[in-house]
Amino acid sequence: MTQADTTDSPGPGSHPGPGPADTPTPTRERSWRHDGAIAGAGFAVEAVLFGVLYTFGVVLDPIRDDLGASRSVVALMPAISAFLLFFVGPFTGWLADRFGTHRTVAAGGVILAAGLALASVAPSLWLVVLAYGVLGGLAASLAYVPVVAHIAALPSRRAPALVGIVVAGVGIGTAVASPLMEWSVRTNGWRATYRGYAVLALVVLGLGSLVFGRQPRHGGPVARSMLATLRPVAASAGFTRLYLALLLVCPAIYVGLIFLPGYITDEGLSASRAAFAASLLGIFSAAGRVLLSALGRRLGSGVLFRLSLGFLAASLGLWLVAGGSYPALLVYAALAGTGYGGTIGLAPTVAAQRFGPTGLGSILGGLYTSLGAAALLTGPAAGAVIDRWGYRPAFVAIGLMAVVATVLVPSAAPAAAPSVPVAPTAVGTARPTTR
């Protein structure tokens, strides 16, 4: 997108006829104090949330030893939480659109704390699966999609950079929490660790909800059901192309996260080198989320989003020819990490600029179901191909999908799309915003 696409206007359309909703409201650039406060709150919420959800490997063996379960059964916990995070997103996004981000974040904090506290006293594995997997996944969906949509819809030219800061909390929170959780589990046990983290989650997400309550969502609440909000936008060509682009490019993200360490050791390199390459991918992912999102204000978020998808496609080509060259594999990790970070960091801003702020939680939640579908399918499908024919066919297929995704990214100009109704205001009933 061009720089003109990142203006502070609430949406690309206008209102026909007279009325309060039709009068343009002059916008002032928000202060750094306001933007810093809400970005800091969002960063803290995501860091604490994913600091427990994405460090499950630290407690997997202690839970298995304590409750006498198989590794595959215990692994149901993060699988269920990841599934709910993405597939409940349209509903939790609509809840935030309708009732406010501060309420969904507060609810997420209460549910996450309750889930961890219940897991810490659970006498059986299935109760732990319910407490951590189901309640943890619901808490993540209540806090992740609403927060990202809230930040992306801010009437600020800094919104792309702020989104990058918030989503970087996922990676940084995981990196910081992992060694701390390992120390706490080793010192105090997994049950006491979860009880302590429950208190931390309740406090941080509670404080975060207060910050979001002081800065209401831009665009106003939606007036109708989730389906009524999402259906007209989902029927547009722009939404379909963006959804398919994310669905096709996400396997290029997950294949590196899942298979890079095993590939490196299969090539005869050490496990420590494999771990470093995986860490490098994560580092460049966090950096890409912040830097590319910040550059979106100057260069256009749509342009950089397409470039990020291109990085992922190119990274698969590099991996295809790298063989056992460790320096080449490190370059792959850096390139794939940058593309990964840019894709995740810029997608909310691209959606906000194309569809406007009203109903953005529902819209973004709908788009994110593509990530959930890709997460469910990539591991088993790519693993089956690798087991039968080796890595090369998998790289070729996933790389070609990423190329198609790059082409599918919709143009910067918003397509003519149906309207999303908004709730009545104090002055009168707001008319639909043309998208």
Summarize pLDDT for 41-77 with one digit per residue, the tens: 999 999 999 888 877 777 877 888 888 766 666 766 7
Type of residue numbered 342: G
The long-range contacts involving 23-27, CB below 8 angstroms and separated by at least 24 positions, are: 27/155
pTM (predicted TM-score)? 0.74
What would the DSSP string read from start to end of 53-103? HTTHHHHHHHHHHHHT--HHHHTHHHHHHHHHHHHSHHHHHHHHHHH-HHH
As a three-state string, the secondary structure of 229-294 is HHHHHHCCHHHHHHHHHHHHHHHHHHHHHHHHHHHHHHCCCCHHHHHHHHHHHHHHHHHHHHHHHH
Neighbour-count burial of 268, counting CB atoms closer than 10 A to its CB (0-12 exposed, 13-18 middle, 19+ buried): exposed
Q: Do the beta carbons of residue 213 and residue 149 sit within 8 Å?
A: no
With contact defined as beta carbons under 8 Å apart, do 170 and 46 qualify? yes
Contacts of 253 (CB under 8 A, 6+ apart): 312, 336, 339, 340, 343, 374
Residue 319: strand, helix, or coil = helix
Q: What is the pLDDT of residue 407?
A: 94
Closest CA to 162 of 346, 326, 3: 346
Q: Which CATH number fits domain 35-220: 3.30.360.10, 1.20.1250.20, 3.30.70.20, 3.40.50.300?
A: 1.20.1250.20
Every domain of the chain with CATH number 1.20.1250.20 lies at 35-220, 230-408
pLDDT at 412: 53
If we measure between CA atoms, which residue out of 373, 408, 402, 364 comes closest to residue 256? 402
Q: Which residues contact 81 (CB under 8 A, 6 or more apart)?
A: 53, 132, 133, 134, 136, 137, 140
- Enter the CATH code of domain 230-408: 1.20.1250.20
Cβ-based neighbours of 229, under 8 Å, separated by 6 or more: 94, 97, 222, 359, 362, 363, 420, 421
| pLDDT at position 311 | 96
Segment 324-345, tens digit of pLDDT: 999 999 999 999 999 998 998 8
Name the β-bridge partners of 422.
Answer: 222
Helix (H, G, I), strand (E, B) or coil at 222: strand
Q: Tokens at residue 419, please?
A: 């309207």
Give yes or no for a contact between 311 and 365, defined as CB atoms under 8 angstroms apart.
no
Residues of the chain with pLDDT under 70: 1-30, 69-73, 75-76, 217-224, 411-435
pLDDT at 175: 77
Q: 198-226 in b/e burial notation, b at 16+ Cβ within 10 A?
A: bebbbebbeebbebbeebebbbbbbbeeb
Can you give the three-state secondary structure of 353-365, one letter per residue? HHHCCCCHHHHHH
